Chain A
Amino acid sequence: MFIRDMNLALIAILVLLLLVVPLTGDRFYIYITSLFMIYSLFALSYNLLFGYANLLSFGHAMFFATGAYVTALFTLKVLRDPLVGLIAGVMFSIPLALLIGFLTLRHTRVYFAILTLAFGMLVYAVLVKWRSVTGGTDGLIGIPKKGVILDISSPTAYYLFILAFFTLTTIGLYLFTKSRWGLLMRALGANEDRLPFTGHSPLFVRLYTFVISGIIAALSGSLYAIFMGVITPDIAYWTFSAEPLVMTLLGGASYYLGPVLGAFVLITLTTLLARFAEYWLLLLGLAVIAVVIGFRGGIAGMLVSAFHIVRDMRGWSRWRSLRLRI
């Protein structure tokens, strides 16, 4: 086929579509789409652990919250600039991810899930209790969009700011998963007992996966803090870690763009069903049960099998060799 890489093509189409949104000038669409991009990044970072390295974490919100809080504190106390604050938030997540990863990654499976839950709640407890710095349950307010270097106070400017990071990260992360480092990551997820036979340490592979995942989660948290202007410790509570998990599951954990699809579907649903927003966790729960019992591939998996059914129908024989490589 003339398209070398289906995923890069899809990302290109997505970015082009996202570029059209600010032209409408509708503040509501700009708001929802910004939120979609932030959650997509969060879910993509989560899928690195869940879909690629086969690690279930219930504490991923700690990186999101760390990114958000460090960015907020940096812009409020040190230098009033969103870009510098963002860089500070992302930088801070690296030693944290190294430390937590080093402590937790010796355990896998169920113990890893519970250990990340405990560490995530530890971060939450610190944010709630360290009132003088983090503002306790009130959180932090007045995170500036207009800084000394960069001014992104208009919705369109801020939208483009997020879009730039979204594009760079989705493409960069995709190239990473295609690199030999990414290959090792997939090998680990596929069969962690056989990985040592190739001479690679599973612990090392898990560690760099965890750190990269933490960095991207912190990036999305930082973007969220600047976008909202207000943050509260709720974003560190363990139930918040479940959001990227559900997005990943629903979209399809075994596809690179699955989490983005999941984020899109969930955010569209919550917006459309705003009246039922109170009970939307019920919908999430049913979706999780359906995915686990019925279709592990999520929505992306369903789309791919639908494509194969159409391809194999009579009269389409010249497309028989066509494969979706996503």
Chain B
Amino acid sequence: MSLEAFLSQSLVGLYKGSFYWFLAVGLSLIFGVTRIINFAHAAFFVLGGYLMFTFYNYTGSFILSLVLSTITTGLIGTFFEITLIRRVYEIDPIYQLLLTFGIALVVNELQKIMWGKFPRYVSIPEYLRGYIGVGDVSISYYSLMVICLSFLIFILVYVVINMSLWGLRVRAVWRDKTMAQIFKINPYLVYTSIFFLGTALAGLGGSLMVALHPVGPGLGDHLIVYAFIVVVIAGLGNILGAYVISLFIGLVSSLATWLLPEVDILIVYSIAALVLLLRPEGLFGER
């Protein structure tokens, strides 16, 4: 167990954690504002990956297809919000969870029909292929870009929520929906825009992932569990917490795979179960 190997593995962990963040941010925002746990969130993440694959095949430009697939995923998420999820804001939370679960199944299967059962991936563009490093510890430009981008998104979301006028409306609905309505804020418009933002960020994550890991059926089922773990440990609806815990879970899972390969996935689930038992409102939660 050398220091170099430890550092390299930690970088891999941060890289993995960045993807959990792209997933967790939307889940957390959507829950915070609309009180809906979006089971379909990972399905939108995977959808972003597939769309990236298609757009890249057509346009040939990495950056352009990244933007296109992010926006398209956001629009598809908004479509489901307007047509289905909007009807269930007032009912029993159990049924809200079930509805998003149904949407997850539908989106997953439609992907299988559209893109087939085989994993898809796109190749990284030439200018992102190099490595940068000190001594034996090195990281590819691409991983570095993903880590930096996740940090950038974190700052951006934080600033927008806390400092913009739209963010003020979101926080108003977040705190007290009825009071916000008195001040002529349309909560449903806020809900729809939050859904767009959340699913678009999930789509961005999926689009970034498809360049190094193939995206295929079953990936969403696996990722949603990790996203839940992150969001729940952080405390539902907490953005800062979601970012810290995403990176932490990424680190733990990648170090566990390296040091204790026999029990690696057990560790993450055990941490989740332990935190939920001892502090169900999450480490960063309020209440």
Contacts and interface: CB of A to CB of B under 8 A. Distances in A.
Contacts of B33: none
Nearest to A122: B269
Interface residues of A, number: 39
A125 B101 contact: no
Contact of A281 (B109, B265, B273, B280): B109
B113 A279 contact: yes
B99 A293 contact: yes
A118 B276 CA distance: 9
Nearest to A237: B221
Interface range on chain B: under 10, 10 to 19, 20 to 34, or 35 or more? 35 or more
Contacts of A113: 37, 94, 97
A281 B87 CA distance: 23
B286 to A, nearest CB: 15
Nearest to A283: B109
Contact of A285 (B102, B228, B232): B102
B93 interface: yes
A193 B105 CA distance: 34
19 contacts: A56-B94, A56-B98, A109-B94, A115-B277, A118-B269, A119-B273, A125-B265, A125-B266, A128-B265, A129-B262, A238-B225, A278-B112, A279-B109, A284-B102, A285-B106, A285-B109, A286-B102, A287-B102, A289-B84
Contacts of A117: 225, 228
Contacts of B229: 118
Given A118-B229, A118-B273, 4 more contacts: A110-B97, A121-B225, A238-B225, A293-B87
Interface string A269-293: 0000000001101101111110111
B270 to A, nearest CB: 7
Interface string A235-246: 001110010010
Nearest to B262: A129
A79 interface: no
B221 A239 contact: yes
A183 interface: no
Given A54-B94, A118-B276, A279-B112, A289 B266 contact: no
A108 to B, nearest CB: 10
A284 to B, nearest CB: 6
A296 B101 CA distance: 15
A246 to B, nearest CB: 9
Interface in A105-143: 107, 109-111, 113-115, 117-119, 121-122, 125-126, 128-129
The residue in B88, B262, B272 that gathers the most chain A C-beta atoms within 10 A of its C-beta is B272
A289 B104 CA distance: 10
A245 B280 CA distance: 25
Nearest to B80: A289
Contacts of A118: 225, 228-229, 232, 269, 272-273, 276
Contacts of A286: 102, 106
A245 to B, nearest CB: 8
A245 B221 CA distance: 16
Given A117-B225, A122-B266, A125-B265, A288 B98 contact: yes
A184 B94 CA distance: 21
B273 A289 contact: no
Nearest to A279: B109
